[in-house]
Structure 1
Amino acid sequence: MSTAQGFPIRIIGERINPGFKSTKALFDNEDLAGIQALAVKQAEAGASWLNVNVGARAMTDPAWMARVIRAIQEVVDVPLSFDFPSRKVQEICLQSYDPARAGGQLPIVNSITEHRWDLMELYGPYRFKVILMASERVEDGVAKGNKTAEDIYGTARRGALRLMNDHGMPADDILVDMSVSAIVADTERLNRSTIDAIRLIGQDPALRGVHMMGGLSNIGQQLPPKAVDGSDLKHGLENAFLTLTVPDGFDVVLGTPWRGYAPLAEDHYVLQAYRHFLEQSGSNALRAVRKFYRA
């Protein structure tokens, strides 16, 4: 695990995704060379995996998706993560993936939930790592969002033990997605719940070896670019979250590999403001958010 980022974390490169306008243009133009260049750029920047998401076209044109996977593997040797909540699509991805081109490393299936467990039917014909979503549980046959640390932890624990005990999956092949939410309208202490759940998972001996991960790009959504102290607010929030959670076992980020992450000093303005925000709820939380960018 590289500490080049300043944290002992690994990065799943997120850029091969039509959610990015520049990548969407590559897909729209079927620019495989451009997609390959993007893959190489992320790998050279230190990505441990590359996430692959071709959007809705995966359902209507599986041959295109297979071409993208093979083209990426022609130019990089890092394993891939397949991002689509469909068993049919994931099977095509796994069929197209060549482990030998990644030095024998397994791909990642992103993602399974308690109500989308059918993806594990593929674990037999294929071997892979999984991203397990801790944000949703099934209760009385209905999917419900988790809002408390106990629910997030409970869902992660049930899913991880099921993967290990029922499917024989090694703990090292399980990545629990902790779903980092935006702070701008977080009046229900969802950030606090996520951080507390990370601590609970990290302290559970039954889950030793399981990884915790998440995408950090949402955390500063809809906030101004600069904090009161003039620093990059969104980047500061990402680093504040990591500063608080990496010691408890959060060790994989779905993000842009060249973004750069590093711990914040205890007196860093954004870290102090984030700590204050985490203790608030309701309208107090909204007022605490304003402290990030208003003197």
Structure 2
Amino acid sequence: MKSIVSTPKFKGILLVLTGATCWGIGGTVAQNLFQMHHINLNWYVTVRLLCAGILLLLLQLFTPSRSQILEVWKSKQTALPFIIFGLVGMLAVQYTYMASIDHGNAAVATLLQYLSPVMIMVYMVLRKQSPLTAKLIICAALALLGCFLLLTNGSLHQLSVSQPAVIWGLLSGVSAAFYTLYAVRLLNEFDSLVVVGWAMVIGGVGMSFVHAPWKIHLTLLTSETCSYLLFSILIGTLLAFWFYIASLKYLTPQETSLLGSAEPLAAVGTTVLWLNEPFGIYQWLGTGCIILLIVLLQFKRSSSVSAQNIKTTNNPIAK
């Protein structure tokens, strides 16, 4: 009898859980770099985008569709959308997410970004591309309740994290919603590695005008700092995205998205256990509300949902 461990489905589950966990831990490592090693936010975003983007494109060289790497730039019809996606989509997602971590912590930043599917659903209802259903109302209520508990820890008088962290986190959710919706046309024409790889490179080049990658005090780059930087780029970005995409060979997009909820759990767990961030009982309840929201969203798909809506909710975000 065939062992469960050797089945393709188990392999897919292992890949997506590993990838999502690496994404979550990557956010906590970034928090450690900002708050303990005093790495500049702008420099970090620039270097992370450039390095991870180049590595993803190098991975594409080993696939049958390697020619897509250059096809992106053969016409204005493809080049311009990629530039817009790289600057307004990828760079915005990366910067707002990291800024929220810099001003607060990885747990709150990750959970706030995971509100983006609700924002997409509300947008599609307003555009009359999706009906207003009871499940959507429940999801919106869970999102509001989860945010309130997460950000206030049950107090009506003060926030549990700084106001800039909340603002950047909510902007991260909005940016992720735009990223997801805009990426649909690109993913219809090109492989995910090409889309995300070039978007990161474009975003990194754009960010270089704000903070050039070579402008850093070398005294900050200790062996410990460099090891965390390598982990963030290689494990928390490259490996995480690669494993997430690879899991789609063995699992349905719905299963992959659902298991991807391991990311916020990993971010919360490592933030609390490794960085010793205080997390109150109401914040744990808020986290539970948002995790439940993620699960409900994955079971929202039905024949009544438009094809565009289905695809947008399955679009991975390289964090």
Q: What TM-score bracket applies, with the shorter chain setting the length?
A: under 0.3
Higher fraction of strand:
1
- Greater relative contact order (Cα 8 A, min sep 6): structure 1 or 2? 2
